[in-house]
Structure 1
């Protein structure tokens, strides 16, 4: 069985599901470029749990429309992939073996951080999918440890797909059009992250809120960057980051994607 990379993708606005853009076209090609996984575990910024991570054991996850104010066509979309309770339970077992407590949800569905990129990557919805939460208020280092515990999955045909956003400050959204100019504080953060990821500077990355330029401006809260650290850990020892996409949407959303392999 081919060893899979672990992935971090930026899912941007839910409109990614409808609106043409470089990031959308990238995701439409991404699934075709990968060995076919037997299951997918998605770590989404939009499922936060308290104190410890949780996995979803839903056998047929519902499509969650966890947003408002968007076109009706978006609310009518479904992603009817089967669940992956066996992969979710395997992830939970690996976490518990590493001393990390895990919650289990019997029915948690796929939020838009999961189904929007998956619908573009695997439009046939024929690969079983489970979700893993991020931990509200926990540090990047804690999420890197969560990822490290999951490293065996990539040897077992399970794709760890981390979905967040390289930058995510919606307080700065003023109705900018899709190709609006990029503010310097967004560009400088993106450049810093790329350099540290490609040089495997884990100490700086885990301390990004202090070390990176304009960290708080790009991430008033952490949750949209935390999946990146899970992907970084889940790649296993010696894995290196490779940028596989870079673009911006609405000026303030860096849509970078990375493969760890």
Structure 2
């Protein structure tokens, strides 16, 4: 089965307790994939929160949720997501990427908060691939390109981050007074960035997308550091240059935290239609 590659925005870890519109979408997305594509034989997951200087695979036989955050309500730390690992797939991907495999497990919150809605039974093997945050978008696209064969062989390539991510903006007092609320209206700067990214994606303007920090409006404001957007380029590479990325969900929380999701590759349009 040929799966579309995916990028989903995970936002705050609190999405695991307060799913909102994004959690509902992720549930619908998982159900749509099961219905129309079948269950993947494994998930290759790349997140903003598992990083290394070079690509590294976590090839442990079992994974548990990692609580890589602090200051949240106690019930969040009591949630579990115990999933099987994919050691055999790790060996195959290691050869494709010339990357080492660590015999260890663990799913950072960018991965498990998304997977608990996509595959709540935690019955799909997961292979985390560490993000190299010092790599350029073009280099990460090339990395993703080397994963295309996986998507064509029943593996779901899942990248997670946030389409916009500036925690200082999220925590700042609003001009109209009061503290941030999940239902705050979107900042114009956030809307301009998200629209630019969707438009350039629809045009397959890879040159502009890879140069987004220079060309996109408010890029540095929306991504003071870009590790939460970089997984997008890995998934895009796994989808290939020839097919336009499709934004399959859009939403904003706290006025500036974009929750958009994208699909890539030959199956992207079909998924966009099916998940509406």
1:193 to 194, 197, 203: 197
* Cα distance in 2 for residues equivalent to 1:134 and 1:65: 18
Moved more, 124-133 or 168-177: 168-177
Name the Cα RMSD after superposition. 1.1
Normalising to structure 1: TM-score of the pair?
Answer: 0.95
Q: Which residue of 1 aligns with 2:273?
A: none
* Cα distance in 1 for residues equivalent to 2:206 and 2:67: 35
State the SS of the aligned residue for 1:162.
strand
* Cα distance in 2 for residues equivalent to 1:189 and 1:64: 31
Closer/same/farther in 2, CA of residues 20 and 110 from structure 1, 3 Å limit? closer
1:207 to 206, 211, 234: 211
CA contact (8 A) 1:241 1:259 kept: yes
1:166 to 163, 168, 178: 163
* Cα distance in 2 for residues equivalent to 1:191 and 1:78: 35
Q: Deviations over 1:137-170 (max 9, x none)?
A: 1111111011001110011100000001000000
Normalising to structure 2: TM-score of the pair?
Answer: 0.90
Q: Deviations over 1:67-113 (max 9, x none)?
A: 011111110111111011222222221112xxxxx232211410000
* Cα distance in 2 for residues equivalent to 1:30 and 1:88: 25
Unaligned stretches of 5+ in structure 1?
A: 97-101
Q: Which residue of 2 aligns with 1:75?
A: 77
State the SS of the aligned residue for 1:49.
coil
Q: Which residue of 1 aligns with 2:230?
A: 226
Aligned pair 1:49/2:46, yes or no?
Answer: no
Count of equivalent residues: 254
* Cα distance in 2 for residues equivalent to 1:106 and 1:144: 26
**Superposed counterparts of 1:94-109, under 5 Å:** 94-96=96-98, 102-109=99-106
* Cα distance in 2 for residues equivalent to 1:237 and 1:221: 25
